[in-house]
């Protein structure tokens, strides 16, 4: 061990002697540990909530959408059948359709009809429900541009249906949409090739991978919209939230680092005579600077590591023991979720190391620059 390690170690630990240095460094150590722990717990909390939200998104929504790169309909051929056959782990819902009028309540509005295979009931989306003033249980009439000859002359083909549900909106879609079973759709419109295909993994944890899994098997003219792209605004908001809150809590680390800086400066002033003595017996200025940086890093980095450890284990325990319950029915989870990720741990360690280093540099330089004789001359 070099003499710097020896000196720094003694100043920090104090060897059972209650040195002022040891006390002061204990305070700074605690501050850094607290800052690191706060940061880890906050990041774990954010990650916990956000993971819950992402899981909820995957649970409720579509995992990928296939759509034509141009035009209204997807190219024909047997690629869709092949896709179905090759990926039994995916639910594939092709929908085709066109423009219709919907009449219900006291209004008639243009809407997009989507005939969805596998769908057994009629659903309207929120926009249409609001425009028509209908909801689950109401009835509505769909009128298509297809004409039928009646005793009264040619009239649009009409079909009266019962609305079974109001479906969730696809993010970014503000059209009025009515979803119907293929049987009804075919009666109202000449259904050609599908215009969109929605994909869902039966195992919702695979939501993020669906787009990349099918990507290679799609013919020209079909593009895939991934889960991330489908939910871009929300996911971007979550990322921003994490960055901003993380930054805010990282300010705690800055305060801890300032405390460390003050204590190191104090230490340098108090140990002035000792530092001068060391310089006088041949410790070069550069090594005096390194001694103080070592002291700062010893306090700050070790405090950061300890805080990260305590915070990480604490967050993990809080999650495992479900120690913080949430009111039932208000949140989608029953307890406050924490999730400690390696990335968050690495970030906190890096931040505390950098903070400790920055806090040490100025006092270390000041200590190394001080005139030797001034430290030695007076008692």
Q: For another protein, give the closer residue by CB, 7 or 364.
A: 7
Least spacing, CB of residue 302 vs another protein, in Å? 19
Calculate the alpha carbon distances from 189 to 102, 129, 145, 147, 360 in Å.
14, 22, 8, 10, 75
Return the closest-CA partner of residue 191 out of 182, 199, 200.
Answer: 182
Looking at beta carbons, which pairs linking 271-280 to residues 24 or more positions away fall under 8 Å? 271/11, 271/21, 271/367, 272/370, 272/374, 272/375, 273/375, 273/376, 275/367, 275/370, 275/375, 276/370, 276/372, 276/373, 276/374, 276/375, 276/376, 277/375, 277/376, 278/7, 279/372, 279/375, 280/372, 280/376
Q: What is the closest distance, in whole angstroms, from the C-beta atom of residue 376 to another protein in the complex?
A: 6
Query: 94, 66 in Cβ contact below 8 A?
Result: no
Q: Which is nearer to another protein, 139 or 374 (CB)?
A: 374
Q: Could you tell me how many residues of this chain bind another protein (CB under 8 A)? A: 30
Least distance in Å: CB of 58 to another protein?
Answer: 59
Residues from 238 through 297 that contact another protein (CB under 8 A): 273-274, 276-285
21 to 40: interface string for another protein, x by CB under 8 A: x-------------------
Compare residues 6 and 136 and give the one whose CB is closer to another protein: 6
Q: Which stretch binds another protein (CB under 8 A): 16-24, 186-194, 236-244, 339-347?
A: 16-24
Interface with another protein includes 106 (CB under 8 A)? no
User: Residue 317 CA to chain centroid, in angstroms?
Assistant: 21
Q: Are 92 and 83 in contact (CB under 8 A)?
A: yes
Q: How far is the CB of 335 from another protein (least distance, A)?
A: 49
Under the binding rule (CB under 8 A), the answer on residue 14 touching another protein is yes
* CB 279 to another protein: min, Å: 8
Q: Binding of another protein at residue 373 (CB under 8 A)?
A: yes
The structure tokens 């359709």 sit at: 97
Interface positions with another protein (CB under 8 A)? 1-3, 6, 10-11, 14-15, 17, 19, 21, 273-274, 276-285, 372-373, 375-379
């Amino acid at each position: 061990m070099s003499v710097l390690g020896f000196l720094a170690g003694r100043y920090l630990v104090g060897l059972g002697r209650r040195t002022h240095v040891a006390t002061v460094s204990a305070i700074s150590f605690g501050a850094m540990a607290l800052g690191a722990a706060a940061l880890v717990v906050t990041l774990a909390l954010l990650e916990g909530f956000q993971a819950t939200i992402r899981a909820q998104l995957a649970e409720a929504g579509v995992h990928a959408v296939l759509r034509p790169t141009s035009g209204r309909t997807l190219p024909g051929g047997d690629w869709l059948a092949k896709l179905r056959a090759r990926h039994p782990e995916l639910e594939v819902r092709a929908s085709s359709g066109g423009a219709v009028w919907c009449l219900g309540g006291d209004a008639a509005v243009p809407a997009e009809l989507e005939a969805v295979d596998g769908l057994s009931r009629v659903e309207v989306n929120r926009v249409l429900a609001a425009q028509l003033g209908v909801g689950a249980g109401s009835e509505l009439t769909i009128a298509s541009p297809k004409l039928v000859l009646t005793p009264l002359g040619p009239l649009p083909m009409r079909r009266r249906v019962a609305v079974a549900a109001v479906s969730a909106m696809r993010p970014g879609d503000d059209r009025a949409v009515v979803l119907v079973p293929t049987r009804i759709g075919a009666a109202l419109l000449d259904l050609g090739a599908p215009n969109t295909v929605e994909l869902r993994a039966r195992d919702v944890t695979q939501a993020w991978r669906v787009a990349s899994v099918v990507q290679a098997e799609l013919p020209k003219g079909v593009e895939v919209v991934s889960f991330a792209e489908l939910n871009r605004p929300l996911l971007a908001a979550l990322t921003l939230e994490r960055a901003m809150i993380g930054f805010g809590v990282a300010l705690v680390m800055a305060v801890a680092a300032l405390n460390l800086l003050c204590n190191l400066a104090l230490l340098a002033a108090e140990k002035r005579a000792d530092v001068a003595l060391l310089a006088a017996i041949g410790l070069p200025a550069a090594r005096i600077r390194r001694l103080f940086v070592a002291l700062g890093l010893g306090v700050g980095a070790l405090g950061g590591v300890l805080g990260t450890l305590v915070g990480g284990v604490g967050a993990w325990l809080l999650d495992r023991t479900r120690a913080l319950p949430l009111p039932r029915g208000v949140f989608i989870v029953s307890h406050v979720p924490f999730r400690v990720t390696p990335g968050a741990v690495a970030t906190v360690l890096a931040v505390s190391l950098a903070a400790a280093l920055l806090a040490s540099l100025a006092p270390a330089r000041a200590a190394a620059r001080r005139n030797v004789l001034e430290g030695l001359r007076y008692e």
